[in-house]
Structure 1
Amino acid sequence: MNTQNAIDWPEKYLPGTGDNFVSNEVIVRGTTAAEVWRFLIDTSAWEGYYDNVADISFPQGGGPRLADGLAFSFGTFGFPPLAARVVEFRAPAEGVPGRLSWTAEQDGTPEERLDVLHAWLVEDLPGGRVRVLTQETQIGQPAAALAQERPNPMLNGHQAWLDGLVAAASK
């Protein structure tokens, strides 16, 4: 039996308990988890393969490569730059999926507040395949508004991120 790994969710962000949740996944040949991981954790590469991210910065230093506990900020989906922090970081290894997640927040009035957890799982599969799963839970009124749009911009945006990431890693 071949079971697939899953995202490890903190209770606060458990899928289905927030205001917006999306899940995107690709399984492809022609690259490895290590190659995908390299492009995923290097924020200086993001804008080269994903057009829905901007203004990436590291207010406490570090970067451009993500690391456990690293604080960074970035703009996406038309929001002002969100304050983010890496909360899980484990590179893929033989038989072990790569795991990356960060929280991101936007302060302000209740109408502006946003709190998210964006998680990634990157793993090699038998037969020379790679699985990349990204899921995000969002909490707040801006998230609820995004969830009502059709098609859901976050679902489509994350698919574009996955497609660009895999294309960059496959070159």
Structure 2
Amino acid sequence: MNAINWPEGYVPGFTENFASNEVIVAGLSAADIWPLLVTPSQWPTYYSNSANPRFYDDKGPVLEDGVRFYFETFGFPVEAQCNEFVPPAAGTPGRVAWHGWAGEEGTDARLDVHHAWLIEDLDGDRVRILTQETQKGKPAEELHNTKPNPMINGHQDWLDGLIAAARATK
């Protein structure tokens, strides 16, 4: 199976927090999942921990490589920039990722993340959805030390909502 592409400085194990969630489900395809995932205005409709998404520079409504956007999650106002965008195609998984940040740079309130998704068609009419996020900064360390880990639980809610939304639109 395919893996996430990690930019320098965000490799798991070398950051303060890491979350990995994955589902494999039958009866859906990457083509069913992709439009819901790459359209941030859809996120709040199936993931309650996402709010107020918007784009900058007259971009959107769909993510694309290099585009800047904003949303709120886990109590953080997140500025973000998409830094990987590869739609799924026959034999090629879909990939979307962004660098997100909150708080003033150089302060203890600063949080930097790399959030990546991989959407992969599998045999037997199945799809694999992998989401992983690395986080840097004091808030990331606090999230890591919170039990249960809110990132693991929150991202699982995102996956479950994404699957339910895809089934409802199919």
TM-score by length of 2: 0.95
Q: How many residues align?
A: 167
Q: For 1:102, which of 93, 98, 107 is the aligned residue?
A: 98
1:42-121 aligned within 5 A: 42-79=39-76, 81-108=77-104, 110-121=107-118
* CA–CA distance in structure 2, aligned partners of residues 40 and 15 of structure 1: 23
* CA–CA distance in structure 1, aligned partners of residues 33 and 41 of structure 2: 14
* CA–CA distance in structure 2, aligned partners of residues 27 and 51 of structure 1: 22
User: Cα RMSD (Å) of the superposition?
Assistant: 0.9
Q: Residue deviations 1:4-56, cap 9 Å, x none?
A: 10001112100011110010000001211011011101112111100001121
1:1-171 aligned within 5 A: 4-79=1-76, 81-108=77-104, 110-171=107-168
Identity of aligned residues (%): 55
Give the letter aligned to residue 76 of structure 1: T
Give the letter aligned to residue 28 of structure 1: V
* CA–CA distance in structure 2, aligned partners of residues 48 and 135 of structure 1: 21
TM-score by length of 1: 0.95
2:9 aligned counterpart, secondary structure: helix
Question: Unaligned stretches of 5+ in structure 2?
Answer: none
Q: C-alpha displacement at 1:59, in angstroms?
A: 2.5
Moved over 2 A (4+): none
Q: Residue deviations 1:65-96, cap 9 Å, x none?
A: 111111001110011x2110000000001110
